């Protein structure tokens, strides 16, 4: 595993607004190897969806993207033209969205929509595409798959639609799949099923996966790596064991207040809540963005914040250990 | 789907009956039909004689039943002015009106839909503003005035097109533009609004995520959904146009059913007016019904509910 499948350095997203530039995502770095699962966690509005759309090249007009590097299997995505991006999207990198109810086109049948990606990217017949669609519908656990092909989205429940979305993303056997909170819109009972399904299929097809979720229990079970996002920055990234056993950034610790452990954290346990407000990201953003909510904040936190890297583990804090040891004493 | 169509069909028939009754009663609302028929110099006895001859002395409902029954068999009585069967009179003229209607709606769709799409792709651009200007102007400008301007410019000053008549296709150019321009603004704005709405929807993002190119995204994924309400609006507009061509036909002296209506009103030719009103209303009802069916056919959500 010499070169990572996806390598991102200093990804920055700026959105011009009426009152100045919104620095929605700032200086994101991470690597993802083939077959690995990266979970991105962070509260609402921290920029998780924007980051995943930026990777896919699906940002809305007006959002400015820049990066020192953003390579997918050696292809530089920042300079790829739209034709190149189209040849990757749906074929080698696929995305599953947060909103299953509205992500399918109401005017076309499930069969048409499933076949589309395959017909666009591979030289196959319609019949072959439909056969593949049936195969994948069965794989995602949909019964009577054959007869579903002629159904329209409105005839399916939310859970079924999300399964269809998953099947659709898998049509061309992508090497990378990005799942943006694929289950938040669904029933709690269905959430776990869908995530397990996604995880198992990912393993089976040796896909790399970026999974955005709020469910720490899921993170503990499926992640190889975890990235913690706060107000547009990855404040801490690392292997799942280290993040859960030794969370270093004060925000990460705030999220994991009860220090859940892989295998021990209950399914469905939500991120902890931390008092305080997120600073505005409009105009110049300086110093640590978490300082307004951090119990250890000092004057120094207004200055430049070093990125501390130790092997696979990285975090941004002026304190070499993120005040981890002080806090242990406090709570002990 | 079948259930839906039957329901709409039932409604259409009900409306048709109501309209037929109203158009029949026009005869009586517009004054004494016998007096109108007899002319201004006729004596009281003449009028009475005519009243008996044409059966105006019988109860209104009986007359309605009789009129409707004949109308259903294609007999609308005899024109007071031409002394010819109204049905054949109208049949001769209807072709021109229908041709004009088809040309008009085609012109409206062919200009309004592309303009609406382009305006939606680039909101607030020059093209969007131009499209808005065209549609506001279209709505503010009365058809007869627009028609007269066209005649002055293209027929009189430039001499490119004939000002009136029905001889060749060139006679239909200006009427088509005037009639189509009337329907254009609504179609354009509905297309623009629909496209704007659809283009920001999640399934468009899904289509892009699959690697579909912009043309495919715009036409196959977006327009296919945005066009649904436009199709039914166009069908309704078409119904309107067939009736609304009265003004256009009179400006350009096109000898269609609209022109006949205008002439017959001026001549107090009540059976002809009655029949024309009935026919125009029927067109409207038929096209509204077609709009519903088309809508259901295009929108899978309506089809199965
Ligand atoms: N097109 C846009 N124009 C302006 N602001 C935007 C736009 N898209 C996103 N934002 C802002 O960028 C920030 C990050 O949004 P994003 O959708 O990435 O958050 P998220 O982490 O996915 O949140 P959630 O968990 O609620 O999905 C938010 O503050 C949002 O308001
Ligand atoms: Mg999101």
Ligand 1 pocket test, pick from A13, A22, A23, A231 with the greatest ligand atom count within 8 Å of Cβ, gives A22
Q: From ligand 1's centre to the CA of A51, what distance in Å?
A: 9
- Strand-by-strand arrangement of the A37-41 sheet: A93-96, A176-180, A208-212, A37-41, A225-230, A233-239, A313-316, A307-310
- Residue whose Cα lies nearest atom 2 of ligand 1: it is A15
Helix axes B224-251, B270-298, angle to 10 degrees: 170
Q: Which residues contact A119 (CB under 8 A, 6 or more apart)?
A: A126, A129
**A3 vs A74: CA distance, rounded Å:** 8
Q: Is the minimum distance from the CB of A283 to ligand 1 under 6 angstroms?
A: no
* Confidence check: pLDDT of B297 > 70: yes
- Within 10 angstroms of residue B289's Cβ, the number of other Cβ atoms is 20
Q: Is the minimum distance from the CB of A49 to ligand 1 under 6 angstroms?
A: yes
Q: Which residues contact A57 (CB under 8 A, 6 or more apart)?
A: A77, A80, A82, A85, A89
Residue A296: enclosing H or E segment and its boundaries?
A: none
Token pair in block for residue B140:
């503010």
* Candidate from B205, B211, B228 with C-beta closest to A121: B211
Indicate yes or no: CB of A107 within 8 angstroms of CB of B209: no
Ligand 1 pocket test, pick from A13, A14, A15 with the greatest ligand atom count within 8 Å of Cβ, gives A15
**B285 vs B240: CA distance, rounded Å:** 10
| Greatest extent of chain A over all pairs of C-alpha atoms, in Å | 66
Which pLDDT score, from 0 to 100, does residue A331 have?
A: 47
Q: Is the minimum distance from the CB of A24 to ligand 1 under 6 angstroms?
A: yes
Indicate yes or no: CB of A99 within 8 angstroms of CB of B202: yes
Indicate yes or no: CB of B208 within 8 angstroms of CB of A88: no
Cα-only R_g, chain B: 24
Which pLDDT score, from 0 to 100, does residue B271 have?
A: 85
Residue A151, classed as helix, strand or coil, is: coil
DSSP class per residue in A170-226:
HTT--SEEEEESTTTTS-HHHHHHHHHHHHHHHHHHT-EEEEE-S-HHHHHHH-SEE
Inter-chain CB pairs, A–B, below 8 Å: 72
Which pLDDT score, from 0 to 100, does residue A183 have?
A: 83
What is the rounded average pLDDT of the residues B224-233?
Answer: 92
For an interface test with A, give the residue of B203, B213, B297 to mutate (most A CBs within 10 A).
B203
Could you give phi then psi for residue B229, rounded to 5 degrees?
-65, -30
Query: What is the tens place of the pLDDT at every residue in B160-188?
Result: 888 887 778 888 889 999 999 988 999 99
Give chain A's domains with CATH numbers.
Answer: 6-85+176-331 (3.40.50.300), 101-171 (no CATH)
Which pLDDT score, from 0 to 100, does residue A260 have?
A: 45
* A105 contacts in chain B (CB < 8 Å): 203, 206-207, 221, 224-225
**B3 vs B12: CA distance, rounded Å:** 14
Token pair in block for residue B215:
């043309």
B199 pLDDT band, cuts 50/70/90, is very high
Q: First and final CA of chain B: distance in angstroms?
A: 7
Cα-to-chain-centroid distance, residue A187? 20
Q: Which residues contact A180 (CB under 8 A, 6 or more apart)?
A: A48, A49, A52, A95, A96, A97, A98, A212
Give chain B's domains with CATH numbers.
Answer: 93-261 (1.10.3720.10)
- B212-220 long-range Cβ contacts below 8 angstroms, 24+ apart: B212/A86, B212/A90, B212/A116, B212/A120, B213/A86, B218/B117, B218/B121
Cα-only R_g, chain A: 21
Mean of pLDDT over chain B: 87
pLDDT in tens, chain A (332 residues): 568 999 999 999 999 999 999 999 999 999 999 999 999 999 888 999 999 999 999 998 889 999 999 999 999 999 999 999 999 999 999 999 988 889 999 999 999 999 999 999 999 999 999 999 999 999 888 889 999 999 999 999 988 999 999 999 999 999 999 999 888 777 777 778 788 888 888 888 899 999 998 888 889 889 999 999 999 999 999 999 999 988 999 999 888 874 444 555 555 555 556 777 788 888 888 899 999 888 888 899 999 999 999 889 999 999 988 877 776 544 43
- Residue whose Cα lies nearest atom 30 of ligand 1: it is A45
* A102 contacts in chain B (CB < 8 Å): 201-203
* A155 contacts in chain B (CB < 8 Å): 304
Q: Is the minimum distance from the CB of A16 to ligand 1 under 6 angstroms?
A: no
Q: Is the minimum distance from the CB of A37 to ligand 1 under 6 angstroms?
A: no
Q: From ligand 1's centre to the CA of A54, what distance in Å?
A: 12
> Which residues fall inside 5 Å of ion ligand 2, going by CB?
A 49
This prediction has a pTM of 0.83
By the 10 Å C-beta count (0-12 exposed, 13-18 middle, 19+ buried), A58 is classed as middle
- Within 10 angstroms of residue B148's Cβ, the number of other Cβ atoms is 14
% of chain B beyond a pLDDT of 90: 26
Which pLDDT score, from 0 to 100, does residue B54 have?
A: 76
């Amino acid at each position: 595993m010499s070169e990572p499948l996806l390598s991102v350095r200093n990804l920055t997203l700026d959105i011009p607004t009426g009152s100045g530039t919104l620095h929605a995502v700032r200086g994101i770095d991470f690597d993802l190897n083939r077959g690995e699962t990266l979970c991105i966690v962070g509260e609402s509005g921290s920029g998780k969806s924007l980051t995943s759309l930026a990777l896919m090249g699906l940002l809305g007009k007006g959002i400015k993207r820049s990066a020192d590097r953003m390579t997918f299997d050696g292809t530089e995505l920042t300079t790829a033209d739209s034709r190149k991006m189209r040849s990757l999207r749906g074929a080698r990198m696929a995305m599953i969205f947060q909103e299953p109810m509205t992500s399918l086109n109401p005017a076309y049948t499930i069969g048409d929509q499933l076949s589309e990606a395959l017909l666009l990217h591979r030289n196959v017949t319609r019949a072959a595409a439909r056969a593949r669609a049936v195969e994948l519908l069965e794989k995602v656990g949909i019964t009577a798959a054959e007869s579903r092909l002629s159904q329209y989205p409105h005839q399916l429940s939310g859970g079924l639609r999300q399964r269809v979305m998953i099947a659709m993303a898998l049509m061309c056997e992508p090497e990378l799949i990005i799942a943006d909170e694929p289950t938040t819109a669904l029933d709690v009972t269905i959430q776990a099923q869908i995530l397990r399904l996604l995880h198992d299929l990912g393993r089976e097809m040796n896909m790399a996966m970026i999974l955005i979720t709020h469910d720490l229990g899921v993170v503990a079970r499926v992640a190889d790596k975890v990235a913690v996002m706060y107000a547009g920055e990855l404040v801490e990234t690392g292997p799942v064991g280290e993040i859960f056993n030794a969370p270093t950034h004060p925000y990460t610790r705030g999220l994991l207040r009860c220090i859940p452990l892989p295998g021990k954290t209950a399914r469905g346990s939500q991120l902890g809540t931390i008092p305080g407000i997120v600073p505005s990201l409009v105009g110049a953003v300086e110093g640590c963005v978490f300082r307004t909510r951090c119990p250890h904040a000092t004057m120094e936190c207004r200055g430049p914040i070093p990125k501390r890297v130790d092997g696979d583990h990285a975090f941004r804090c002026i304190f070499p250990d993120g005040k981890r040891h002080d806090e242990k004493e406090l709570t002990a | 789907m079948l259930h839906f169509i039957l329901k709409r069909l039932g409604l259409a028939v009900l409306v048709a009956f109501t309209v037929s009754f109203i158009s029949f009663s026009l005869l009586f609302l517009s004054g004494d039909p016998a007096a109108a028929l007899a002319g201004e110099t006729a004596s009281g006895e003449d009028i009475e004689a005519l009243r008996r001859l044409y059966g105006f002395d019988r109860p209104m409902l009986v007359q309605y039943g009789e009129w409707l029954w004949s109308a259903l068999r294609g007999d609308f009585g005899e024109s007071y002015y031409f002394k010819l069967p109204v049905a054949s009179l109208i049949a001769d003229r209807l072709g021109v009106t229908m041709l004009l209607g088809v040309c008009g709606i085609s012109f409206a769709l062919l200009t309004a839909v592309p303009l609406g799409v382009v305006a939606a792709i680039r909101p607030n651009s020059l093209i969007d503003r131009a499209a808005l200007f065209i549609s506001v102007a279209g709505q503010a400008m009365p058809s007869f005035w627009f028609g007269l301007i066209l005649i002055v410019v293209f027929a009189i000053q430039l001499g490119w097109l004939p000002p009136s008549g029905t001889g060749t296709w060139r006679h239909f150019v200006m009427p088509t533009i005037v009639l189509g321009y009337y329907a254009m603004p609504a179609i354009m704005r509905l297309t623009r609004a629909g496209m704007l709405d659809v283009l920001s929807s999640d399934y468009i993002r899904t289509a892009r995520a699959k690697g579909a190119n912009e043309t495919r995204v715009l036409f196959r994924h977006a327009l296919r959904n945005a066009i649904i309400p436009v199709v039914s609006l166009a069908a309704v507009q078409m119904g309107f146009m067939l009736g609304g061509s009265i003004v256009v036909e009179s400006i350009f002296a096109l000898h269609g059913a609209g022109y006949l209506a205008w002439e017959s009103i001026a001549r107090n030719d009540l059976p002809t007016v009655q029949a024309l009103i009935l026919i125009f209303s029927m067109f409207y009802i038929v096209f509204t019904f077609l709009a519903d069916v088309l809508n259901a056919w295009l929108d899978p959500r309506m089809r199965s509910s």
